[in-house]
């Protein structure tokens, strides 16, 4: 518990140093605590330390944990690959889906979002490495998908997210991260009012912030190694 508090203090210090070094000291970066394969007790400890955004990849694991934690002030992000036959529980339970990459998924989430809930926040997942096994769309597909999402009343497009290829040299990773920020800027110039660029994980969040990230997804650096 105290360990999570210490880890969070260290991450927050590094985020704010990084913002200062990049002349972004008046901005904030949201921390999404990635709690996959960590127990509900870890979420409760991180919540007590002040975090409100939590990310989960695996639907069954997430649903059990969300029920166990039972905290209405948490904003849960679905950050895994979403199959179209699994959209209903996601639309009913989560506040964000960070990995939307198909019109069909967006349309189902829109149709299944309960009327009593706020619109579902969504990010479009970009895949700039053209890795076939990974989800995500190209920039051109992203602009088309954003126009479609804008027509769906129960969804609120908040921005883009990306998971860069593991093991890339720094220079290449930087180029990819800058491209994500450029796609977000292009969405804005096309009239989409978005506020979120989600990129950066435990190993690269400072580089991601340097390249324009507004939301980092941190697992290991906060909770330790996954079980």
Binding region for ligand PLP (CB under 6 A): 34, 36, 57, 79, 163, 201-203, 217-221
Q: To which residue do tokens 């029920």 refer?
A: 67
Please identify, using beta-carbon distances, which residue of 24 and 36 lies nearer to ligand PLP. 36
Closest approach, Cβ 163 to ligand PLP, in A, equals 5
When the beta carbons of 22 and 220 are compared against ligand PLP, the nearer one is 220
Pair of tokens at residue 221: 């650096």
**In the complex, what is the shortest distance from the CB of residue 198 to ligand PLP, in angstroms, rounded to a whole number?**
8
Residue 224 beta carbon to ligand PLP: minimum distance, rounded to whole angstroms: 9
| Residue closer to ligand PLP (CB basis): 57 or 181 | 57
- Tell me how far, at minimum, the Cβ of 81 lies from ligand PLP, in Å: 9
Secondary structure element (H or E) that encloses residue 216, with its range: strand 215-218
Instruction: Give CA–CA dist 195/126, Å, rounded.
Output: 16
d(CA 144, CA 170): 30
Residue closer to ligand PLP, measured from CB, 147 or 165: 165
In whole angstroms, what is the distance from residue 81 CA to residue 217 CA?
15
Residue whose CB is nearest to ligand PLP in the complex, by number: 219
Neighbouring CB atoms inside 10 A of 52's CB total: 15
């Amino acid at each position: 518990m105290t360990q999570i508090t210490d880890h969070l203090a260290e991450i927050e210090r590094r985020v704010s140093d990084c913002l200062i070094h990049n002349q972004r000291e008046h901005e904030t970066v949201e921390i999404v605590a990635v709690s996959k394969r960590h127990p509900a007790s870890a979420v409760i400890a991180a919540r007590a330390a002040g975090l409100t955004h939590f990310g989960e990849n695996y639907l069954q694991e997430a649903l059990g944990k969300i029920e166990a934690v039972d905290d209405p002030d948490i904003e849960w992000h679905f950050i895994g690959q979403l199959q179209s036959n699994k959209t209903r529980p996601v639309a009913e339970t989560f506040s964000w889906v960070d990995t939307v990459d198909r019109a069909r998924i967006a349309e189902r989430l829109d149709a299944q979002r309960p009327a009593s809930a706020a619109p579902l926040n969504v990010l479009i997942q970009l895949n700039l490495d053209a890795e076939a096994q990974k989800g995500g769309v190209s920039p051109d597909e992203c602009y088309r998908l954003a126009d479609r999402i804008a027509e769906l009343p129960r969804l609120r497009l908040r921005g883009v997210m990306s998971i860069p290829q593991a093991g890339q040299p720094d220079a290449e990773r930087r180029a990819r991260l800058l491209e994500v920020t450029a796609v977000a800027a292009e969405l804005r110039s096309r009239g989409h009012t978005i506020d979120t660029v989600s990129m950066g994980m435990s190993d690269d969040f400072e580089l991601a912030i340097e390249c324009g990230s507004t939301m980092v997804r941190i697992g290991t650096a906060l909770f330790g190694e996954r079980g």
